[in-house]
Structure 1
Amino acid sequence: MVQPNERTILIQRNATSYTGDNTKPRRVVVLDVFRGLLMVLQSLDHARSFLTALTEHETWYSQPVYKDLVPSISRLVTHLAAPGFAFMMGFGIILFSESRLRIGWEINKLLKHYIIRGLTLLILNAYFMIFGIIYVIDSIGNVSQTPKSIEYETVDFGLWRFIWLLPGEYKWLFSMYPPLNWLSFTIFGILYGYITLKQAHNKRYNRNLNLKIGIFLLTLFLAIRIPGKFGNINPELLPSPPPGTLFNNPYLTSILQFVNAIKYPPDLSFITLYMGLNHLILAFFYSIPSSTPYSILNYFIDFLFSGPLLAFGQSALFFYMVHFHLYLIMGLILTFLFGSNQEPPYSIDSWQFWSMWIFGLALLWPMCIKYAKFKSRKEPDSLWRFF
């Protein structure tokens, strides 16, 4: 691993402020901040589902036509979260395994840790399902009401279709993220982590690599999207384009439709566009200097790399669990006070929705700081560190 110096060190000012232990190996702060950004975007999507009537989802079965700018952007920008999380899961496996092997863990202990972590996540998932607070339950209900073709109704796809391929509901099974589709992001993260492990603290290397990957993926997205056939799931779900549209491609009718890719399951356009943007965001974070001659910029840098994004990223699962309950409670209070929200999208005034979303993040910030300090005092194999 390269030695930290003026040219290569990552921005780590106050990086251990939430852990209170400067003797431990320093984390790659950029990755924590990036993970924190993904958490914020995810919370926007969930808050939108709990606090507004806007519930469109881009699926194999139906695709919304986005027209209004604010509701559309508030949905599309959150698409960065799911592939980013799956990618970071794979990347995190490499970083975590390397750090634990370095302190003397054996392979058997490492495998035991991952088994326990997986079982813990399954239990947490069951909790969310039992109490019905995963917002996509509503979306799958909408999907189930979408008219299906005669062929669809007469073919029994069976259980494995929902486990491996498409989102849906089959008897006792509910599957919104079939593993065969999303595993590719995690495998890519593992490969990326393996390749970059020895350069984890080399700022220039990671900036250039992420920039190249991002540009390559976005170029591939254009090559797929402009013709509108291969790599685009069911473009016929959208209204027919006006006569004379290039390639008769409905995705070329507006900028919003151009970036409106199918997420459930992710088609190739979705993968290349949003993973390309994720890599450009990482490249941007790696490009930010540790200090500048300008005090205002230094304040921004300190806030970015020592503020809420760092706290959210270092307590990601804790944030995930708490923010669901927080915005759910907000939604229940609004329903109790004003009645069920049956109006068009954002019937709650925009400033009210955005204020409540930001207020929720403000409440989560100190909670995540305290939890990060709490778990840092636990042993490396403590269950509390899973969160």
Structure 2
Amino acid sequence: MVQPNERTILIQRNGNSYCTILLEHETWYSQPVYKDFIPSISRLVTHLAAPGFAFMMGFGIILFSESRLRIGWEINKLLKHYIIRGLTLLILNAYFMIFSIIYVIDSIGNVSQTPKSIEYETVDFGLWRFIWLLPGEYKWLFSMYPPLNWLSFTIFGILYGYITLKQAHNKRYNRNLNLKIGIFLLTLFLAIRIPGKFGNINPELLPSPPPGTLFNNPYLTSILQFVNAIKYPPDLSFITLYMGLNHLILAFFYSIPSSTPYSILNYFIDFLFSGPLLAFGQSALFFYMVHFHLYLIMGLILKFLFGSNQEPPYSIDSWQFWSLWIFGLALLWPMCIKYAKFKSRKEPDSLWRFF
């Protein structure tokens, strides 16, 4: 029996939910079973973002440090810059976690359907485990990305940056390197996933597989379940699968030629490298902050127009979701271009350049 004064996180017991997380995630204590293809892929493809972001953060540290050292910055000034940037992100994170993310989720609607959570007994953990290791909610603390879980991605990005720094403009070298890393990681994923034991967090969270399933592995019951790895915290299956795919994506970009004999392909290449991807990348944090408010407003408009007779959560079809998402990106594109031009006129150590 859990005493009121014990430090606990209550997940779910006897069908009663004690956790205030709005949506079910691929966590160490609960894993959804995906069945419908399009909503499932819409969810699973987003798994590329978090490891890719942490990896590119490490890579970006190398590129940024090199560019600033080249213009005469000293190490102390560089460290001061990172400390100020880190504090700025902590302040912004507190604001957006409280005032934006929850309302965006509630307003836009949830297009993925997941089964009822598996019942679990109460789990008792200390505060510091949630700060550093375990994703979830503990009293006043809500953390889905404890630093020790994701630090390895950033360290890997730093190592990648050191390796490729002198070959930054050698497209063939970078293409081959990313292709080799991607194939290696995906091969390692298969070696971990097919047996279904080592490197897979709590496979017993899933329904028991049919008799005769290879290795009695529940991940082998469908292709969707095969790629549905635990993200919070990332297990080895998640790391190898989605980082392998990220490296293949990088290899693809390095494979695109600068120009071709065909004008229509040249137009596509120019759009790809000089269009919205460049604009969003040059103003990444600005994009991140503004997109919450933009989609919040869009969601409120939808709620006003079509959701007056519905009970929350207000749902929309997949094609409607993707149409709204693309429309939002089209609105964000010129905003990011203007902000990138604005901050380019500021000093190298300006606070505006953080965004």
| TM-score range relative to shorter protein | 0.7 to 0.9
Deviation at 1:15, TM superposition (A): 55
Q: Which has the larger displacement, 232-241 or 132-141? A: 132-141
**Partner of residue 330 from structure 1, selected from 285, 294, 298:** 298
Q: In structure 2, do the counterparts of structure 1 residues 341 and 60 end up closer, same or farther at CA, with 3 Å as the change threshold? A: farther
Gaps of 5+ in 1: 19-51
Query: Is the Cα–Cα contact under 8 Å of residues 241 and 248 in structure 1 kept in the other structure?
Result: yes
Partner-residue secondary structure (3-state), 1:135? helix
Deviation at 1:146, TM superposition (A): 13
Q: In structure 2, do the counterparts of structure 1 residues 321 and 206 end up closer, same or farther at CA, with 3 Å as the change threshold? A: same
Query: Is the Cα–Cα contact under 8 Å of residues 111 and 318 in structure 2 kept in the other structure?
Result: no
Q: In structure 2, do the counterparts of structure 1 residues 11 and 208 end up closer, same or farther at CA, with 3 Å as the change threshold? A: farther
Q: Distance in 1 between matches of 2:104 and 2:314?
A: 18
Q: Distance in 1 between matches of 2:16 and 2:119?
A: 58
Q: In structure 2, do the counterparts of structure 1 residues 157 and 139 end up closer, same or farther at CA, with 3 Å as the change threshold? A: farther
Within-5 A mapping of 1:146-295: 156-295=124-263
Q: Distance in 1 between matches of 2:120 and 2:14?
A: 56
Q: Distance in 1 between matches of 2:78 and 2:286?
A: 22
Q: Distance in 1 between matches of 2:132 and 2:108?
A: 17
Deviation at 1:384, TM superposition (A): 0.7
Deviation at 1:72, TM superposition (A): 0.6
Partner-residue secondary structure (3-state), 2:111? helix
Query: Is the Cα–Cα contact under 8 Å of residues 167 and 264 in structure 1 kept in the other structure?
Result: yes
Q: Distance in 1 between matches of 2:177 and 2:137?
A: 40
Partner-residue secondary structure (3-state), 1:143? coil
Query: Is the Cα–Cα contact under 8 Å of residues 54 and 345 in structure 1 kept in the other structure?
Result: no
Deviation at 1:296, TM superposition (A): 1.8
Q: In structure 2, do the counterparts of structure 1 residues 132 and 186 end up closer, same or farther at CA, with 3 Å as the change threshold? A: same
Number of residue pairs matched?
354
Partner-residue secondary structure (3-state), 2:204? helix
Partner-residue secondary structure (3-state), 2:327? helix
Q: Which has the larger displacement, 347-356 or 259-268? A: 347-356
Q: Which has the larger displacement, 335-344 or 186-195? A: 335-344
Q: Distance in 2 between matches of 1:355 and 1:141?
A: 14
Query: Is the Cα–Cα contact under 8 Å of residues 13 and 306 in structure 1 kept in the other structure?
Result: no
What TM-score, normalized to structure 1? 0.80
Q: Which residue of 2 aligns with 1:63?
A: 31
Q: In structure 2, do the counterparts of structure 1 residues 250 and 218 end up closer, same or farther at CA, with 3 Å as the change threshold? A: same
Q: In structure 2, do the counterparts of structure 1 residues 225 and 145 end up closer, same or farther at CA, with 3 Å as the change threshold? A: closer
Gaps of 5+ in 2: none
Q: In structure 2, do the counterparts of structure 1 residues 141 and 291 end up closer, same or farther at CA, with 3 Å as the change threshold? A: closer
Deviation at 1:133, TM superposition (A): 2.4
Deviations 1:124-166 (A, max 9, x none): 0111133152579989999999999999866631101111111
Deviations 1:159-194 (A, max 9, x none): 011111111111221111011101110011111111
Q: In structure 2, do the counterparts of structure 1 residues 282 and 362 end up closer, same or farther at CA, with 3 Å as the change threshold? A: same
Q: Which has the larger displacement, 136-145 or 340-349? A: 136-145
Taking only the aligned residue pairs, the percentage that are identical comes to: 97
Query: Is the Cα–Cα contact under 8 Å of residues 276 and 333 in structure 2 kept in the other structure?
Result: yes
Q: Which has the larger displacement, 139-148 or 161-170? A: 139-148
Deviations 1:203-246 (A, max 9, x none): 11111111110000000000000000011111111111111110
Query: Is the Cα–Cα contact under 8 Å of residues 57 and 139 in structure 1 kept in the other structure?
Result: no
Q: Report the aligned-residue RMSD.
A: 13.4
Query: Is the Cα–Cα contact under 8 Å of residues 230 and 238 in structure 2 kept in the other structure?
Result: yes
Q: Which residue of 2 aligns with 1:23?
A: none
Query: Is the Cα–Cα contact under 8 Å of residues 62 and 143 in structure 1 kept in the other structure?
Result: no
Deviation at 1:372, TM superposition (A): 0.8
Partner-residue secondary structure (3-state), 2:13? coil
User: Which structure ranks higher in relative contact order (CA pairs < 8 Å, sequence separation ≥ 6)?
Assistant: 1
Q: In structure 2, do the counterparts of structure 1 residues 130 and 15 end up closer, same or farther at CA, with 3 Å as the change threshold? A: closer
Q: Distance in 1 between matches of 2:12 and 2:276?
A: 15
Q: In structure 2, do the counterparts of structure 1 residues 151 and 246 end up closer, same or farther at CA, with 3 Å as the change threshold? A: closer
Q: Which residue of 2 aligns with 1:17?
A: 17
Deviation at 1:337, TM superposition (A): 2.5
Q: In structure 2, do the counterparts of structure 1 residues 122 and 137 end up closer, same or farther at CA, with 3 Å as the change threshold? A: farther
Q: In structure 2, do the counterparts of structure 1 residues 336 and 9 end up closer, same or farther at CA, with 3 Å as the change threshold? A: closer
Deviation at 1:11, TM superposition (A): 49
Partner-residue secondary structure (3-state), 1:355? helix
Q: Distance in 1 between matches of 2:70 and 2:15?
A: 21
Query: Is the Cα–Cα contact under 8 Å of residues 335 and 341 in structure 1 kept in the other structure?
Result: no
Q: In structure 2, do the counterparts of structure 1 residues 6 and 385 end up closer, same or farther at CA, with 3 Å as the change threshold? A: farther
The answer to whether the aligner puts 1:8 opposite 2:25 as a matched pair is no
Q: In structure 2, do the counterparts of structure 1 residues 223 and 368 end up closer, same or farther at CA, with 3 Å as the change threshold? A: same
Q: In structure 2, do the counterparts of structure 1 residues 344 and 156 end up closer, same or farther at CA, with 3 Å as the change threshold? A: closer
Deviation at 1:54, TM superposition (A): 10
Q: Distance in 1 between matches of 2:288 and 2:96?
A: 11
Deviation at 1:9, TM superposition (A): 53
Query: Is the Cα–Cα contact under 8 Å of residues 140 and 169 in structure 1 kept in the other structure?
Result: no
Q: In structure 2, do the counterparts of structure 1 residues 171 and 148 end up closer, same or farther at CA, with 3 Å as the change threshold? A: farther
Deviation at 1:196, TM superposition (A): 1.4
Q: Which residue of 2 aligns with 1:48?
A: none
Partner-residue secondary structure (3-state), 2:120? helix
Deviations 1:344-363 (A, max 9, x none): 99942333222211110100
**Partner of residue 346 from structure 1, selected from 305, 309, 314:** 314
Q: Distance in 2 between matches of 1:165 and 1:8?
A: 15
Deviation at 1:334, TM superposition (A): 1.8
